[in-house]
């Protein structure tokens, strides 16, 4: 019972490099999310996808792009990484407008 | 001012103590109130969910919502070392701009054996 799977778990990037965080869910959920979690800031929504084929900006979208590849997969791309993007990233999924959001295990990203 | 305020702690209590965790909020449109628990180096998981005002009990956990004061609480009775985690409150309204979950910053709880 995998739930929400995200890769990689750990990554170190140099400033200016690009990378993609991958996320897949096996619960047949319509909605998927990318959050970042920083000390003292809590969980902040970067982008979300209410359904396959749609994406919308969250609270902190600058510097990120997303792709809802199909119903299962939702990727987050950093085109030109900056030290301010050092964070823990969580992918999540839910039924539409649900209060139960299922989170992945997190991806620890350090930009040097 | 943040929409949801939560004391980050850390909160350290002895095993068996009653723990009280709290959040305040400013948006009166919020109607759904959740508590998530996050163990170290893991993703958050839903612990309890309450709609509008009132109390909800689940085992050792009780969630309270006071919409008139814009204040929510999570009580843990007979706390155990396994309860050591970060507890995040979350809330949302219904429809429109308030439909997205807003999380508190989380309170780190340590239950000492």
Per CB-CB distance under 8 Å, the chain B contacts of A43 are: 44, 88, 103
Measured between beta carbons, which residues in chain A are less than 8 angstroms from residue B103? 42-44
Per-residue model confidence (pLDDT) at position A29: 93
Kindly determine whether residue A42 and residue B105, on different chains, have CB atoms separated by under 8 Å: yes
- Tell me how far the alpha carbon of residue A59 is from its chain's centroid: 13
Q: Show which residues on chain A lie within 8 Å of chain B, measured between beta carbons.
A: 4, 40-45, 48, 58, 90, 92, 97, 99-106
Q: How far is CA A32 from CA A10, A27, A46, A84, in A?
A: 21, 11, 11, 24
How many helices (H) and strands (E) would you count in chain A?
Answer: 0, 11
Subunit contact B43:A40, Cβ cutoff 8 A: no
Question: Rounded distance, CA A75 to CA A8, Å?
Answer: 12
B103/A58 touch (CB, cutoff 8 Å), yes or no: no
pLDDT for B8:
83
Picking from B2, B23, B43 by the largest number of A CB atoms within 10 A of its own CB, the best residue to mutate is B43
What's residue B98's pLDDT? Answer: 59
Residue A64 neighbours by CB under 8 Å, 6+ apart? A34, A46, A47, A76, A77, A78
Instruction: Identify whether the C-beta of residue B99 lies closer than 8 Å to the C-beta of residue A97.
Output: yes
Give the H/E segment covering residue A49.
strand A42-49
Residue ranges of chain B with pLDDT lower than 70? 95-99
Predicted confidence at residue B97, as pLDDT, reads 60
Binning pLDDT at 50, 70 and 90, where does residue A41 land? confident
B37-56 pLDDT, tens per residue?
999 999 999 999 898 888 99
| Strand pairing class (A56-57; A42-49) | antiparallel
């Amino acid at each position: 019972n995998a739930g929400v799977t995200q890769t990689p778990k750990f990554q170190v990037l140099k400033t200016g490099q690009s990378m993609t965080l991958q996320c897949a869910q096996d619960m047949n959920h319509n909605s998927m999310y990318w959050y970042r979690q920083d000390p003292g800031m809590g969980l902040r929504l970067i982008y979300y996808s209410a359904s396959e084929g749609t994406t919308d900006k969250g609270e902190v979208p600058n510097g990120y792009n997303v792709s809802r590849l199909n119903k299962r997969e939702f990727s987050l791309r950093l085109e030109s990484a900056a030290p301010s993007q050092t964070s823990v990233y969580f992918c999540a999924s839910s039924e539409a407008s649900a209060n139960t959001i299922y989170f992945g295990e997190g991806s620890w990203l350090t930009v040097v | 001012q943040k929409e949801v305020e939560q004391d980050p702690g850390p909160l350290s209590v002895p095993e068996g103590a009653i723990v009280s965790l709290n959040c305040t909020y400013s948006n009166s449109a919020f109607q759904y109130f959740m508590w998530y628990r996050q163990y170290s180096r893991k993703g958050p998981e839903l612990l309890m969910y309450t709609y509008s005002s009132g109390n909800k009990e689940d085992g050792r956990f009780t969630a309270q919502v006071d919409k008139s004061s814009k204040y929510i609480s999570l009580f843990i009775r007979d706390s155990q070392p396994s309860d050591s985690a970060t507890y995040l409150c979350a809330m949302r309204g219904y429809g429109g701009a308030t439909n997205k979950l807003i999380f508190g910053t989380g309170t780190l709880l340590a239950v000492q054996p």
